[in-house]
Amino acid sequence: MDPITGMLIIDKPQGITSHGVVSRVRKWCGTRKVGHAGTLDPMATGVLVLGLGRGTKLLTYIVGADKTYTATIRLGSSTPTDDADSAPDLFADPADLAGVTEERVRAGAQRLTGDIEQVPSAVSAIKVDGVRSYARVRAGEQVELRARPVTVSAFAVGPIRAGEDAAGRGHVDVDVEVTCSSGTYIRALARDLGRDLGVHGHLVALRRTRVGAFDLSGAVELPQDPATAAPPDLMPLAEAAARVLPVVDLDRETASALMQGKFVDLAAVPPAPGGHWAGIAGGELIAVLERRAGRFKSATGIAVPGRGDG
């Protein structure tokens, strides 16, 4: 078994990439085997779910979970990246911006709620003919991505306030909370809300508060100097798996067979919409189970290695 194995929920600080977080955690925990379940942009903060050791294999079952964000949308201008990582290049007519009311903002958010077709931001990690979209944009190419179906299950509008930038241009900032499916771009929602209201829009703050069953209550801060920080307490894989998959309790004989890569019979299992179960014995995640022809076996790469005790 991997000597360092488990899950770690990081409250990602602003100004660092998700890959940068992974790099720092590798030094902090003394292992190269670290991965994350869903990128956060450098300007964003909040929940970043990391897997260490065998936990990297469990990320597969977390990355597609729905997510919740708090954000601030600035109406009145847009940027090439749809967020504050680039300077505004288009500005609303002051008369149009003056016509933005709370009622209109709420109606616009409602139109972006539910099952929608969203065009991702051009400066994104989506690949176009094998090349990341952001790389094509930075190379000077015009990139138009196809719309994709996403679900925005909640788009709640909070405080709305008017202000001015350093050049005296007006804007309207809108605090929002969004719950959405994996693959939804919050900065694209900001862009589309601005377009819908005819005043442009971009994101100026973003914080992810939840990824599936993992939220900020279990998150830890990333140390500035991982070499001198005490190692963090990792969430056991059994606990993490039980949050994202239905649990099957295994007896010793069945657990031993699964660790040897064998198929097993299980009399009763709970419903599993995703087709996978967490097989747990003695408080330990033995395997993520999948059903094949009515029998069960470990999903590739997840099982505890066989110990020859079968």
List, by residue number, the catalytic residues.
41
Residue 108 phi, psi dihedral angles, 5° rounding? -65, -40
Cα 124 from chain centre? 14
Cα 277 from chain centre? 22
Q: Cβ contacts of residue 22 below 8 Å, gap of 6+?
A: 34, 35, 36, 50
**Inter-residue contact 55 to 7 (CB < 8 Å):** yes
**Inter-residue contact 237 to 58 (CB < 8 Å):** yes
- Residue where the block lists tokens 């094949």: 292
Question: In sequence order, what DSSP letters do the residues of 117-165 get, joined into one string?
Answer: EE---SSSS-EETTEEHHHHHHTT----PPPEEEEEEEEEEEEEEEEE-
CA distance 212 to 281: 24
**Inter-residue contact 72 to 177 (CB < 8 Å):** no
A 10 A CB-CB count for 175 gives 15
Token pair belonging to 198? 């005819």
**Inter-residue contact 220 to 235 (CB < 8 Å):** no
Amino acid type, 141: E
CA distance 307 to 138: 51
